[in-house]
Amino acid sequence: MAVTDRKIQVLIADDDGAIRTVLNQAFTRAGYDVKTANNGAVLWEWIANGEGDLVITDVMMPGESAIDFLPRIQRSRPELPVIAMSAQNTFLTAIKVTEAGAFDYLPKPFDLSELLELAKRALAQKQAAQEEPSDKIDEGISLVGRSQAMQEVYRVLAKTIQSDLSVLITGESGTGKNITAKALHDYGARKSAPYVEVNLATIAPDMMEAELFGYQKDVFSWAEKDGQGKFDESEGGTLYLDEIADMSMAAQMRLLQVLQTGQYSKVGQLEPIKCNVRLIASTHRDLKQLIELGKFREDLYYRLNVVSLRLPPLRERREDIPDLVQHFIKLNHFDMAHPLVIVKAAQERLMRYSWPGNIRELENFIQRLAVMHTGEAVTLDVVENEFSNLNSDSSKNGRNLENDTQTIRDLKSSFENYLQHYFKNYDGALPPPGLYHRMLPEFEAPLLSIALEVCGGNQIKAANLLGLNRNTLRKKIRDLNLQIVKSYKN
């Protein structure tokens, strides 16, 4: 019988009687025929008998979970849309129910008007999205948090993960943009293909096109053979362009060509190369502001921003801090014979801190606690002392200038890895002379940018911090085309 010949029937299943009552009343008032159940077995019996035009179900219920019977619905009644609800508001929950075939996932607590609108959209769709179940989810994934701020992130990821749409990830430094990009690849259709990550801020502007798109031999004086670019390396897989705002205008034009035509050409080559790469980009900067300044192409922005994903700063999801703390303790394999224990008052203090460095700063802080206080209970006094042992301005200004040995090792290791990759392009041969002068701007630019940032854009303070003459600093700012953002600091 066609849906239009009778009232639309909504099947609702939840083991919480209060939720069943509220949903029953809301959908009945909206004109639907409603049936409610308190377990998955009854719900499945109705579905198997051909009842229902829409299913709204809790994920975890007595007898059988939605994750168990969703695949059966996909096989027997693929046209039946299912909206799954859950109080277990994690990224993995969203991914699992989406992979199992749910039309959408709604975290609890939810807005009733949002659910009613979602139901309308589900009923308007003739057939629910069909996705084959993926391999078992890796429980070690680093996307952690149950806050409302993270629920929208999980929902966007769940809907986008199996597609090839370009994604633009925005958010402050340290919010987990690289982890999010990796999750899009690892749980997507291209997970068995290459994943290539490149930080554009580390590439000299005049080498960016060659680095990304490759080059033909002899186009450079030192190029004795054709060179591969990042697009070559990521063919069939995913290319993640971190700090897209630092892309040179020439490279922007080439990237736009890829997104428009699905083809690119190497530097010095006219013949186009077909491209099969999913593109993910990220930035902590305001691209719209850069567009107004003429430093970023507006047409490229809209090509990249097919799916927009904003990662919230940690101060907007403080309730996730306890889960993140436990995650970092396990992730870094600290001494589990004497696990780090953080007392309640200390945890509450961590939740009150602004964390300007976001998740990265929190992880470094937990690493420091684990090293310095192994086998001890971390009290409120311990946390306060650790905060005071940071930069003297960290408590007042919310800025943590991290100078711990772990950060120094990470920087040294990253730079060494980059240099090793640079030399690999020459297959054992030495690169052309002048390496020092080519590499120096790649190191100077982030160093000067960070120094200016922590000094609030004050060039005199930054020059003193760096040990440079003020005129020298000004010249380097011009030569490296650095942006200065002024702020007022005590």
pLDDT in tens, 235-281: 999 999 999 999 999 999 999 999 999 999 888 888 889 999 999 99
Q: How far apart are CA 251 and CA 415, in angstroms?
A: 23
Pairwise pLDDT comparison (431 vs 22), residue with the higher score = 22
Residues 342-401 pLDDT 10s: 888 998 999 999 898 899 899 889 888 887 776 678 889 889 888 887 644 443 444 443
Classify 485 as helix, strand or coil: coil
Task: Write down the pLDDT at residue 106.
Answer: 82
- Which of 157-166, 297-306, 418-427 has the highest mean predicted lDDT (pLDDT)? 297-306
**Helix or strand run (H / E) with residue 413:** helix 405-424
Per the model's pLDDT, the better-predicted residue between 31 and 269 turns out to be 31
Residue 311, helix vs strand vs coil? coil
152 vs 2, higher pLDDT? 152
pLDDT in tens, 286-334: 999 999 999 999 999 999 999 999 999 999 999 999 989 888 877 765 5
For residue 13, give the DSSP letter: E
User: What would the 3-class secondary structure string for 218-286 be?
Assistant: CCCCCCCCCECCHHHHCCCCEEEEECHHHCCHHHHHHHHHHHHHCEECCECCCCCEECCCEEEEEECCC
Q: Are 277 and 197 in contact (CB under 8 A)?
A: no
Contact (Cβ atoms closer than 8 angstroms) between residue 71 and residue 100:
yes
pTM of the model: 0.56
- Predicted confidence at residue 290, as pLDDT, reads 92
pLDDT above 70 as % of the chain:
81
For the chain, give the number of residues. 490
Written as six digits, the tokens of 328 are 């970092």
- For CA atoms 314, 363, 446, 448, the dihedral sign is positive
Within 10 A of 167 (CB to CB), how many other CB atoms are there? 25
> What are 281's strand-pairing partners?
168, 241
